[in-house]
């Protein structure tokens, strides 16, 4: 359990949480190990978990008709993916594939929802962390789109 708490403390999303809050989250987390090339989830799948990468790398991508796979991000240890599943009931917006053998902590949506419902202070802190993370990703996407627009690659 202490190992999970330490892993969660190193994740930007959970970095500012109190030790008690990290312990609560660690209790609902399960560990998963995946080999290179494994598909963790596909675009359109139900969003039922948030994942924390403990070690290894995960590629987030989409299939583009006529072009193949377009990598959106390659994430490493300490990063989070699948967080949109915690915020809405929509299906997955991309594929997640193991880029390099990885070990993950998986937080099931239903258990996490129950935890946030029972601990309002935790909910407030976690949801604001998620907002900050998503805003950062949106800014990165805007920068990429601006670059593509200026370089005439997006017309």
What CATH number is given to the structural domain containing 111?
2.60.120.10
Angle between helices 19-28 and 120-150 (to 10 degrees): 80
Does residue 143 lie within any of the structural domains? yes
The pair of three-digit structure tokens given for residue 65, joined into one six-digit string: 């008709």
Does residue 58 lie within any of the structural domains? yes
Does residue 17 lie within any of the structural domains? yes
Does residue 84 lie within any of the structural domains? yes
> Phi/psi of residue 79, each to 5°?
-100, 160
The CA-atom distances, in angstroms, between 67 and each of 25, 97, 104, 107, 149 are 40, 18, 30, 33, 19
Positions of E strands within 76-140: 80-81, 95-108
Does residue 138 lie within any of the structural domains? yes
Digits of tens for pLDDT over the chain (155 positions)? 788 888 888 888 887 788 888 999 999 999 999 999 999 999 999 999 999 999 999 999 998 888 888 888 999 999 999 988 777 888 999 999 999 999 999 999 999 899 989 998 888 888 888 888 888 888 988 888 887 777 765 55
Does residue 96 lie within any of the structural domains? yes
Own/partner long-range contacts of 64-72 (Cβ < 8 Å, ≥24 apart): 69/95
59 and 96 in contact (C-beta within 8 Å)?
yes
pTM for this entry = 0.83
| Structure confidence at residue 69 (pLDDT) | 85
The CA-atom distances, in angstroms, between 53 and each of 114, 121, 154 are 23, 25, 32
Does residue 155 lie within any of the structural domains? no
Number of domains in the chain: 1
| Structure confidence at residue 27 (pLDDT) | 93
The pair of three-digit structure tokens given for residue 95, joined into one six-digit string: 């594929």
Using the structure block, give the residue that is written with the tokens 């990290």. 22
Range of the domain at 128: 2-150
Question: Where does 2-119 have alpha helices with state H?
Answer: 2-9, 19-28, 109-118
The CA-atom distances, in angstroms, between 38 and each of 28, 35, 76, 133 are 24, 6, 16, 26
| Structure confidence at residue 155 (pLDDT) | 53
Q: Coil, strand, or helix at residue 142?
A: helix
């Amino acid at each position: 359990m202490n190992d999970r708490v330490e892993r969660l403390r190193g994740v930007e999303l959970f970095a500012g949480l109190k030790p008690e809050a990290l312990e609560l989250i660690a209790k609902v987390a399960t560990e998963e190990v995946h080999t290179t090339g494994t598909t963790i989830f596909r675009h359109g799948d139900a969003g039922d978990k948030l994942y924390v990468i403990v070690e290894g790398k995960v590629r987030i991508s989409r299939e583009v008709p006529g072009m193949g796979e377009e990598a959106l991000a390659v994430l490493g240890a300490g990063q989070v993916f699948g967080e949109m599943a915690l915020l809405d009931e929509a299906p997955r917006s991309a594929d997640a594939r193991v880029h390099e053998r990885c070990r993950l902590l998986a937080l099931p949506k239903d258990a996490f929802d129950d935890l946030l419902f029972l601990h309002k202070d935790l909910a407030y802190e976690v949801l604001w962390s998620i907002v900050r993370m998503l805003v950062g990703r949106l800014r990165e996407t805007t920068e990429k789109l601006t670059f593509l627009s200026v370089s005439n690659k997006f017309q």
